[in-house]
Structure formats: structure tokens, C-alpha cells
Amino acid sequence: MSSKLTRRDYLKKTSTACMGGCLLLSGNRLSAVLLQDENSIDPEKLCYCSYSCPEDCHLYVASVKNDTELKKEAFKEWGLEERYGLKFDAERIFCFRCKPGDKPEGPVLTNCTVRSCVIEKGYQACIQCTELKSCDKDLWKRFPQFHEEVLKLQEKYLVAR
């Protein structure tokens, strides 16, 4: 018996798969951090979730270039309408990374529960949190393999301290 997916379900599944793929493909970047000398793991240089965003991230590149077409592609790729109920607006869809400094914070940052938790606890990255292993934030539920990689990074970070 075949089951039919609604357009919404299809978009949710594909956007989740796409983000998961990005994280898994970017695992080499995270692995590169894991393979560094443990003394060089610096939470300030990591995203709040302890990830290292790739230079070629579609949403970041679109934001830096202020390219509407690239933003539309990234908007679809990241499933921002489905995840956050947003309509595309080139002025409001952007990302200048997790710790943007003097840049504005886009919808991905303002809706990130991991980021808000880390900031609330006064940390620079999740690897500093003693509750990381049992954390049940949406990011970890959607990407359990990524959570495992961050836990490995945390072990190395804690040993080096």
C-alpha cells in the first residue's frame, strides 16, 4: 500500500533531510575541530551549538552578497516557511552566523533554542554545559548524529581543561 505525502509533509521531510545532509557533510569540518590539539578547542570560535559554520553556507553567502535569488534558494533549502511560519521577504531572510557581532540577527538565530539556552546559561558553546548529554532541544532531536559528534568534542574539551 502506498501512502501519499502532502506538499507540506514532503517539504518538511526534504528540508530536514537537507539540513541533516549539510550537517553530516560538514562533519568533516567538525571532525577537523575534533582532530585539533585539544588545547586549541576554543568555545568562543564555535557556534553556540559547538558547530563550525562552513564558509560556503548558502544562507550566509546569500546574506553577505545580499542576493535575493540566493536567499530564495536558501529559504527553501532551510525550510524556513515550514519551520517558522515565515513568508519570504528578502529584507528579513538573512544569516550572518551564530555570533554576528555588529550584524543583525536573522530568523534562524532568533528561533534557535540551543542558542538562547547557551546565552541564558552564560556559555560560549554547548560543549561547556554539563547538561549537554541529556539536552532535548529540537536540534539534537532532529540531528542525533550531530549531537553525538558534539558530545565527543565536549569530552576532548573537558579533558584539555
Cα radius of gyration (the chain): 16
Query: Domain for residue 78, yes or no?
Result: yes
Query: Domain for residue 31, yes or no?
Result: yes
pLDDT tens readout for residues 72-127 = 999 999 899 999 999 999 999 999 999 988 999 999 999 999 999 999 999 999 99
Query: Domain for residue 35, yes or no?
Result: yes
Query: Domain for residue 2, yes or no?
Result: no
Distance CA 134, CA 33 (A): 23
Query: Domain for residue 130, yes or no?
Result: yes
Residue with cell 549531537: 147
- For the chain, percent of residues with pLDDT exceeding 90: 66
Task: State the residue range of the domain holding 99.
Answer: 7-160
Query: Domain for residue 124, yes or no?
Result: yes
Query: Domain for residue 25, yes or no?
Result: yes
Q: Determine contact, residues 98/48, Cβ cutoff 8 Å.
A: yes
**pLDDT attached to residue 161:** 80
Of 9-18, 51-60, 62-71, 141-150, which gets the smallest average pLDDT?
9-18
Q: Taking residues 56-66, report their average pLDDT.
A: 95
Residue 116: burial class (beta carbons within 10 Å; 0-12, 13-18, 19+): middle
Query: Domain for residue 131, yes or no?
Result: yes
Q: Total domain count for the chain?
A: 1
